[in-house]
Structure 1
Amino acid sequence: MLFDHLKNFQIILASGSPRRQQFFKELGLDFEIRLKPVEEVYPKELRGAEISDYLAVLKAAPFKNELIEKEILITSDTVVWHNETSLAKPKDAKEAFKMIKALSDDWHEVITSVCFTTSLTQKTEHHITRVKFKPLVEDEIWYYIENYKPFDKAGGYGIQEWIGLIGIEQIEGSYANVVGLPTHIVYKTLMDMAN
C-alpha cells in the first residue's frame, strides 16, 4: 500500500494553521498536532526564501531535544515577497489595505519553506510561486478586508478567498503553496524519508 513505509513513523505537524492541517488530512497522512510558541524574529539581512527557511527551522527548535526515534516533526513558514520587502501578517485593517494596494496590478512571490526534523536529521525545502494581481480598486480591497479579516495571513490575503477569486490574473508555480503548504514537496520528502 502507498503509505506502508510511513506507518513506522509518527508525523507531527507543529502548526496551528487550519489550512495546513486540512492539507495534511487531504494528503491522507496520519499525523498529530503539537504546538509550542515561537517568537518569529529573523536577522534583517535575510532576503526572500532565506527568511522562510530560517523561520521554519526556528519553529522546530523548541522540539529538538524531545523528539524520539521514528518521529518526523514538520514546521513551516510562508513569506510574501514584493519589491525586496517581506509582507508579514497585517496588524490591522489599515496595514492589510496598504499591503494589498501594493500588490495590486503587480507580481509578487509567495515562498513557503518546510522543515523536516527527526532526532538525527534536519532538512529544509522551499517552493516559490509567482502571483499576479489585477488592478484592484479601493472598494474591492476594503470589501475583502471587512468581510474576510485576513489578519492571520502573510501579505494580508488568502488566495482561496474572495480576493483571490476576483483578483488573481496569473500564477506560476504551486497553488497549494500560496494557500500555505507546498504539498507536492511534503509528500515527496516524507516518502523519501520513509524509504
Structure 2
Amino acid sequence: MQQQVILASQSPRRKQLLEWAEVPFTIVVKETAETYPESMAIAEVPVHIARQKALAVREQLQSEKPAVDSPVILAADTVVVLGKRIIGKPKSRQDAIDTLTDLAGQRHDVITGVVILHQEKEISFYDVTHVEFHYLSADEIAFYVDKYKPYDKAGAYAIQEWIGVVGIKSIEGDFYNVMGLPVSRVVRALKDLSVL
C-alpha cells in the first residue's frame, strides 16, 4: 500500500527527484534555523539539520490536525565540504565567485543527510559523493554565476547545470546525492517502512 509522503523541503531538485522515482508526496515546509553544535562531526551536520526540519513539520501538522494518523515525513539537507570546511549557500555574487574559485581544480565532498519520521520510528543516514572539478577560469566562473545565479545552492553550484556539464572532472558516488537527495537509498528506506 502506498502512503503519501510529506516532503519537508522546498528544493525544486528534491521535488524533481521524488517525481522521477514516482514517490507520491506533498510538500510542507516550516522555516527552521539551520544551526548545529560547533563540536558536531561534519558528516552529522546535514542529518542534524534535516532532523530539525522534519520535527518542525511534524509539530506543525500535529498542531493543525492532532487526530490524524502520523504521516511519513522526509527531510534532507546537503552540505559541500572542502577540506574540513563546510561551504554553505553563497550570500552574494562575490561570495559565489570566491566559493567556485576555491572549488576549481579541487576535490570536495557533497554530503546529504536524510531523516524519515514515521509514527515512533526515525530512519536517518547520510550519503557522501566525492566530486572533482577541472580548473575553471575566472571568466567561466563569472559567466556561470551571472547566468545561473546559484544563490540557493550549497557550494554555489548545481551539478545538473552548465558548470556540472563542462566543469566536473570526476564523480565517485551517487550523482543524485549531489543534486540534493540520494533518491535510491530513500526509496529503499521507504520500502523498509512499508510506505511504498
Give, in whole Å, the separation in 2 of the partners of 1:53 and 1:45: 14
Worse-matched range after superposition: 108-117 or 67-76: 67-76
Which one of the candidate residues 34, 42, 62 is aligned to 2:28? 34
Give, in whole Å, the separation in 1 of the partners of 2:137 and 2:35: 33
Worse-matched range after superposition: 54-63 or 94-103: 54-63
Identify the residue that residue 169 of structure 2 maps to in structure 1. 169
Q: Deviations over 1:90-128 (max 9, x none)?
A: 001111111111111110000001100123111211110
Give, in whole Å, the separation in 2 of the partners of 1:104 and 1:45: 28
Aligned-partner residue type, residue 142 of structure 2: W
Aligned-partner residue type, residue 44 of structure 2: E
Which one of the candidate residues 33, 37, 60 is aligned to 2:54? 60
Q: CA deviation at 1:20?
A: 0.5
Q: CA deviation at 1:190?
A: 0.4
Identify the residue that residue 106 of structure 2 maps to in structure 1. 106
Overall identity of the aligned pairs, in %? 37
Q: CA deviation at 1:70?
A: 5.2
- Conserved 8 A contact 2:28-2:57: no
1:7-156 pair list within 5 angstroms: 7=2, 9-65=3-59, 66=62, 68-69=68-69, 71-156=71-156
SS of match in other structure, 1:194: coil
Q: Which stretches of structure 1, 4 residues or more, deviate above 6 A after TM superposition? A: none
Give, in whole Å, the separation in 2 of the partners of 1:63 and 1:97: 34
- Conserved 8 A contact 1:38-1:59: yes
Q: CA deviation at 1:48?
A: 2.3
SS of match in other structure, 2:193: helix
Give, in whole Å, the separation in 2 of the partners of 1:163 and 1:60: 31
SS of match in other structure, 2:110: strand
User: How many residue pairs are counted as aligned between the two chains?
Assistant: 189
Q: CA deviation at 1:29?
A: 1.2
Q: CA deviation at 1:61?
A: 1.9
Give, in whole Å, the separation in 2 of the partners of 1:88 and 1:79: 6
The Cα RMSD (Å) is 1.3
Give, in whole Å, the separation in 1 of the partners of 2:113 and 2:144: 27
- Conserved 8 A contact 2:44-2:113: no
